[in-house]
Amino acid sequence: MTTRQQPGLTGAEAGSTAERTLRGLGVSPGIAIGPAHVMEAGAIQVPEYTVVETALADEVARFHGAAEKARRQLGKLKAKAGTLPADAAADMAILLDAHQAMLSGSRLIRGVERRIRTERLNAESAVQQEITVLAQSFAAMDDAYLAARVADVREVGRRLIRNLMETPYQAFSRLPDGAIILAEELSPADTALLDPRRIGGFATVLGGAEGHTAIMARSLSLPAVLGAAGLLQGVETGDLVVVDGRAGRVLINPSEDVLADYRQRQALWKAEREQLKALAGLPAITRDGTSLTLNANLELPREMEGARDAGAAGVGLLRTEFMYMNRDDLPGEEEQYQELRDLIIAMDGRPVTARTLDVGGEKLAGALADRFATPANPALGLRAIRLGLKEPKLLETQLAAMLRAGAHGPIRILVPMISNPSEMRKVRELMRAVARRLLRRGHAIADPLPPLGAMIEIPGAALAADSLASVSDFFAIGTNDLIQYTLAIDRGDEQVAYLYDPLHPAVLRLVQFTVEAAGRAGIPVSVCGEMAGDPRYAALLLGLGVRELSMAPGNLPLVKRRVRGLDLREATRRAGMIMSQTDGGRIAALLDDFNEALG
């Protein structure tokens, strides 16, 4: 972090007007300039109810789960603070240590547990009441230092309550146009609430380049920087902020010269995007005449217009989680059918690949949060198709909506996190049973039944792709989770972001296994992870035999430009050279040399 004060002001006088530059992970390109909106924990409406005697143990466990999550959050913040200048890092570490101490065997923890067990209070209310009593006792002490710790007590309490309630930020609609959100962390559900027509961009202290929040930012074409240590220190709502989502920089209160430079960069960025629009109506065809399919990934229905404008051949991945986010109940069959029907009609005959619910991990839907125990490792626990098969009513409702929507246009059904053929067989049996029931009820459905595909995102699935191909109508390779699981890294954790390597030989071999298995079975295979939307990887994926790519709508022109500039025979030869390598650095050099020759 660099700091430069306004001329003529001392440090104290400068306050928040001092220019600061922070570095983080540029996760979504573009430059945003606008007023800061600093997200505070804010007041939360805490529910209060009586817990039945038989549920007290579960309520205590729920509280301890929230406390454990808070400790992990503080641990991440402390690690991030280590990248700050020495004095700032030391101060931050002392503060975070104090917060962590309040969450481990403390009076706070014991008091909340006692209130749940003896007063039968729900955990949120027990935390609030215990925090109130603690704050009052601190404030009454004849010790200025301890009295000043009241703010720390309240902050720890807010963190616990927010974790218990899985509360997303809700006030985005009231922000001024072009506002830039600065926050400790934004969840995917928070990000889904951002309207790119009104929000300029955002930056956070926590978050990784390949996490779902980053994916959502790219999908919405919102400039974003994650993992910026010290972001919230000394910044106030209303301060002028620049977010450079390509370089991973956040500038707070930039000088006039710096601001002018970034306004020029912003204008150039917009001009380049305008030029790329001319590609929308051109075919995705290589120089040697091979036609390819470039589809759009959709997170939210409002991206549909952008997908059409970008010339998407279809929707290669519709993440249906949007219907489950930011609500307290579950969407029914009719609601899901209407949402899907409108999307299919809007695509006007172009195919839509709808993925069944993929919640769990960082994407837990609020309405489901209270129904299942929090797993020790959410990424490996009850999520995606595992959840659907454990709660078949949940899956059947989705399948019914998809089958009915398929009566209005072409649809494919994609099943996430498949690990073995028996899961695909069970889903197919469920789909057929749902189809029979819908026909008995007199509903029109897709005829014939839609293709049913397996998402290949687990290394074991890729290695067993031949057997999965025998029970699947198509494959879609989800490179985000495939890389995460292959390299054993949390793709949302900025501390290990440097290990996230799409060009790791193991990852490339798994992609190759999958493509070759699909070829032997004669079924289509696509790539719908973030690799597909990065022009850097286009030649390699095509050289490996992939002919269908699906990506955020904003990336479609960039990838199409690269596709139209390459010769597939040369790309295939270069892919062969790359696959004979065992060193990641050599692989990257071979690919980058090839791309540079394309210009």
pLDDT tens for each residue of 62-72: 899 888 888 88
To the query of whether residue 408 is one of the catalytic residues in this protein, the response is no
Q: Can you list the domains of the chain with their CATH numbers?
A: 20-42+171-271 (3.50.30.10), 55-165 (1.10.274.10), 292-552 (3.20.20.60)
For 7, the 3-state DSSP assignment is coil
Peptide bond before residue 448 is cis, with ω within 30 degrees of 0: yes
* pLDDT over threshold 80, residue 83: no
Stretch (H or E) spanning 448:
none
Alpha-carbon dihedral 542, 546, 551, 557, rounded to 10 degrees: 40
Averaged pLDDT for residues 384-391: 91
Question: How sure is the predictor about 375, in pLDDT bands with cuts at 50, 70 and 90?
Answer: low
Residue 30, by phi and psi: left (phi above 0), alpha (psi -120 to 50) or beta? left
CB contact at 8 A, 20 and 191:
no
CB contact at 8 A, 353 and 524:
no
Running DSSP on this structure, what letter comes out for residue 519? H
- For the stretch 245-293, pLDDT in tens is 999 999 999 999 999 999 999 999 999 888 888 898 999 999 999 999 9
The set of residues, in sequence order, having a beta carbon less than 8 Å from that of 321 and lying 6+ positions away, is: 188, 357, 358, 359, 363, 365
According to the annotation, is 319 in a ligand binding site? yes
According to the annotation, is 350 in a ligand binding site? no
Q: How many Å apart are CA 374 and CA 392, to the nearest integer?
A: 20
Burial 24-55, CB ≥16 within 10 A → b, else e? bbbbbbbbbbbbbbbbeeeeeebeeeebeeee
Amino acid at 110: R
Task: Name the burial class of residue 163, with classes exposed (0-12), middle (13-18) and buried (19+) by CB atoms within 10 angstroms of its CB.
Answer: buried
Closest CA to 29 of 478, 496, 534, 589: 534
DSSP-assigned letters across all residues of 234-264:
T--TT-EEEEETTTTEEEES--HHHHHHHHH
According to the annotation, is 143 in a ligand binding site? no
- Name the residue with higher pLDDT: 239 or 495: 239
Residue 410, by phi and psi: left (phi above 0), alpha (psi -120 to 50) or beta? beta
* pLDDT over threshold 50, residue 445: yes
Could you say which of 37, 99, 408, 528 is catalytic?
Answer: 528
Question: How sure is the predictor about 319, in pLDDT bands with cuts at 50, 70 and 90?
Answer: very high
Q: What percent of the chain has pLDDT over 70?
A: 86
Could you say which of 37, 99, 212, 408 is catalytic?
Answer: 212
The set of residues, in sequence order, having a beta carbon less than 8 Å from that of 333 and lying 6+ positions away, is: 397, 400, 401, 404
Give just the sign of the alpha carbon dihedral 28, 2, 497, 232. negative
Q: How many Å apart are CA 236 and CA 221, to the nearest integer?
A: 25
According to the annotation, is 159 in a ligand binding site? no
Helix %, strand %, coil % of the chain (to 5): 55, 15, 35
Token pair 């790119």 is at which residue?
A: 196
Amino acid at 272: E
Amino acid at 552: A
Give just the sign of the alpha carbon dihedral 476, 477, 481, 486. positive
Q: Do β-strands 240-244 and 249-252 pair in parallel, antiparallel, or remain unpaired?
A: antiparallel
Averaged pLDDT for residues 30-41: 86
According to the annotation, is 457 in a ligand binding site? yes
- For the stretch 198-217, pLDDT in tens is 899 999 988 877 777 888 88
To the query of whether residue 504 is one of the catalytic residues in this protein, the response is no
According to the annotation, is 436 in a ligand binding site? no
Q: What percent of the chain has pLDDT over 90?
A: 55
How many Cβ atoms are within 10 Å of 285's Cβ, its own excluded? 14
* pLDDT over threshold 50, residue 15: no
